[in-house]
Structure 1
Amino acid sequence: MKLTALKCHGSGNDFLLIDEYTDSLNYSDAERAEMAVRLCDRSEGLGADGILFFQDSKIADGRMRVFNSDGSEASMCGNGLRCVARYACEKLGMKKLRIETMKAVLEVEEMEPLSEGVETYKVEISPVSFRTADLPMKAPNETFINQTLADCSDLPFTAIAVPNPHFIAIVDDADAKKDEQQKLAAYWNGENPYFPDGVNVSFVEALRPQEIFVRTFERGVGFTNACGTAMSASSLVACLQGLASFGEELTVYNPGGKVKCAVHQQEDQYTIDLIGNATYEYKVEMEYQPDGYKVGSRVDFPEEIAAYQQMVNRK
């Protein structure tokens, strides 16, 4: 089977985007999982954090499915959604669309560039829930907000689903105690009594007013350059703890670059805008079979890579 894959990234969180809008691959979920493991392998494959499948939708302008590099399917991916938003807007000739994801139909929109030459898109992050059952998390109370798991760590965490599950702590230095962070995150994503399906774990540092740094262990990936839903959820936690203001844009830095977030509150309901790059790196044609693949032609986009790197260097 001839296949085209577009390598792209949002905040350094990189993906292979495969267009099924017109012609479906008709692959089973098991075959998609196998494809993700094979193509995303950084030692023997093309290398990526996951695959974005862009499909037609009966209820929206398009549909996104996300398979992580370990073969698991994510319910949402904010950085990936920005890449799909750009691809869909360019393909359909529109600046604003609605994209179906696993649990919600979300609005996406082309925005003014964050920096010269950096294609920028805003995506809606919702629904938002603090119910531990929605992560799921096994906890004595219906919510877990700024509390500690005493047998694991003395850091206070907040559990939130957006709808991906997140466990977030405010720390003095998000890059400090990396070994301890790795140990905690790996434990909560292995066999443990709290998170039966694992969880994304983030460590958030307040830098200046309306500026935070987020370091995330992404479920199914490990520590990553960036996780869009983690940056969004971390922005909400920062607002709840008085480190940022609701309704105002805040800058969220991460190992892969930066994004803008705005957290909106209406009574006890929240929505989050995630604004950031959608950068194309290269496009490849390949001959793909279940037992292997062979890459043919490749087209690179060096200007886009350079423009994003220039923005990162200015942070």
Structure 2
Amino acid sequence: MDIEILKCHGSGNDFLLIDEISNPYLFSEKQRADLAKALCNRETELGADGILFVLKSDVADARMRVFNADGSEASMCGNGLRCVARYVCELLGKPNALIETMKVNLLVEKEEDLFPEIPTYKVEISPVSFQLKDLPLTLPTDTLIAEKIPSLSEDLTFTALAVPNPHLVAIVEAEQLESNLQLQLSGYVNGPNPLFPDGVNVSFVKPLGKSAIFVRTFERGVGFTNACGTAMSASTLVTCLDGLNQKEEAIEVYNPGGKVRCVVHETNGQYKIDLIGNGTYVYKADVQVNEADYNQFTVNQTKVFTAETEQYAKLEAHAKEYIAQYM
């Protein structure tokens, strides 16, 4: 099986993009999951946090399906959506597009560069729900906003929300961020546990300067990532609810892989978030996969985007310098 892939990333959250609009691939559901587990393996020549399958859509300009490195399918992926946004807009020669995702059709559009010479796209993150049944989270209440879960921590307060991926967010101090607490909590709620039957993304948020935060996320099905787009969006909303930041104002969101910008909008009690950041191409490659064993494959890089990679490294350096002032 010969597959053309595009290695790309949003805030260092990296993906293998497979174009099913231009290519006549016919993957079964099992093949999609098996390809994700094989090609995303970090011990191989490729390695990634997931695969973005870009397909034709009957209701939008394109459809996005996201398979995590463990073979599970995610309902949404903000960083991946930015990469798909760039790819589809360039493929169709349009400045904006409508992308069908698992639960909702989302608007995407080209945006002014977040950092010099960084291809930047704005994507809509919605719908937002605080109903615990939508995560799901099993507690004797309908919502959890800035409250404790004693079985998880005696000190932290949590907010649970779906955007539509499930997220558990805590605003923390530097000492808590530097400890093993997030790893321990994340391992517990993503294993057999009485709270989250399907697991959950866990984010620790540290306020930085004015209208700036740092977010680190343990992503369900992946582990710690350089960034998680829906987590950064959810975390930004949580800081607005907490009074640390303001709705309708641009908030700089720093992460281990760089930075994005988020804006929270509220209309009649309903929220949506603009997620603005890079969609960077790393390389294109032809991958020859052994159909009898997907773990056996060869990679031939056909185009390397050196200038994009080097420019993004400058953004990363800028982000690290800023973060260091507050840690």
TM-score, normalised relative to structure 1: 0.98
Superposition pairs for residues 1-315 of structure 1, below 5 Å? 1-154=1-154, 155-173=156-174, 176-290=177-291, 291=293, 292-315=296-319
Output one character per residue of 1:86-132: Cα deviation in whole Å (capped at 9) or x when no partner: 00000000001000000000000001111222000000000000000
Partner of 2:324: none
Number of aligned residue pairs: give it.
Answer: 315
SS in 2 for 1:67: strand
Q: Distance in 2 between matches of 1:264 and 1:75?
A: 22
CA–CA distance in structure 2, aligned partners of residues 168 and 199 of structure 1: 10
User: Which secondary structure state, in structure 1, belongs to the residue aligned with residue 137 of structure 2?
Assistant: coil
**Structure 2 letter corresponding to 1:134:** D
CA distance in 1, matches of 2:300, 2:178: 44
Alignment deviations for residues 3-53 of structure 1 (CA, whole Å, 9 cap, x no partner): 110000000000000000133422121110100010000112411000000
- Is the 2:177–2:204 Cα contact (8 Å) retained in structure 1? no
Matched position secondary structure for 1:122: strand
Question: Residue type of the partner of 2:112?
Answer: E
Which amino acid counterpart does residue 85 of structure 1 have in structure 2? A
Normalization by structure 2: what TM-score?
0.94
* Structure 1 range deviating more: 288-297 or 10-19: 288-297
Deviation readout 1:179-216 (Å, 9 max, x if unpaired): 12101001000000000000000000111221000010
Cα distance in 2, alignment partners of residues 169 and 63 from structure 1: 32
Residue ranges of structure 1 left out of the alignment (5+ in a row): none
* SS class of match (1:208): coil
* Superimposed CA distance per residue, residues 283-303 of structure 1 (whole angstroms, 9 cap, x where no aligned partner): 101222332322234321110
Are residues 125 and 174 of structure 1, via their aligned partners in 2, closer, same or farther at CA, if it must alter by over 3 Å?
A: farther
More strand by share: 1
| 1:139-174 CA-partner distances (Å, limit 9, x unpaired) | 111101111110220210000000000000000127
Tell me the secondary structure at the aligned position of residue 182 of structure 1.
Answer: helix
Unpaired segments ≥5 residues, structure 2 = 320-327
Q: C-alpha separation between the residues in 1 aligned to 2:24 and 2:215? A: 36
Letter in 2 for 1:302: T
- 1:43 counterpart letter in structure 2: E
Question: What is the alpha-carbon distance in structure 2 between the residues aligned to residue 45 and residue 39 of structure 1?
Answer: 8
Q: Residue 45 of structure 2 contacts residue 299 of structure 2 at CA under 8 Å; is this kept in 1?
A: no
For residue 176 of structure 1, give the secondary structure of its aligned residue in structure 2.
helix
SS in 1 for 2:174: coil
1:221 maps to a residue whose letter is V
The amino acid across from 1:305 in the alignment is T
> 2:64, 2:209 → 1: CA distance?
35
Letter in 2 for 1:269: Q
Q: Which amino acid aligns with 2:119?
A: E
Contact 1:39–1:47 at 8 Å: present in 2 too?
A: yes
**Deviation for aligned residue 1:178:** 3.3
Give per-residue Cα distances to partners, 1:232-268, cap 9 Å, x unaligned.
0000000000010000110000000000000001121
| 1:38–1:45 Cα contact (<8 Å) kept | no
What is the identity percentage for the equivalent residue pairs of Structure 1 and Structure 2?
57
- The answer (yes or no) to whether the contact 1:174–1:213 under 8 Å persists in 2 is no
The 4+ residue runs of structure 1 with deviation greater than 2 A are: 22-25, 174-178
Aligned to 1:42, what secondary structure does the other structure show?
Answer: coil
Question: Which moved further from structure 2: 111-120 or 157-166?
Answer: 111-120
Check whether the contact 1:284–1:295 (CA below 8 A) recurs between aligned residues. yes
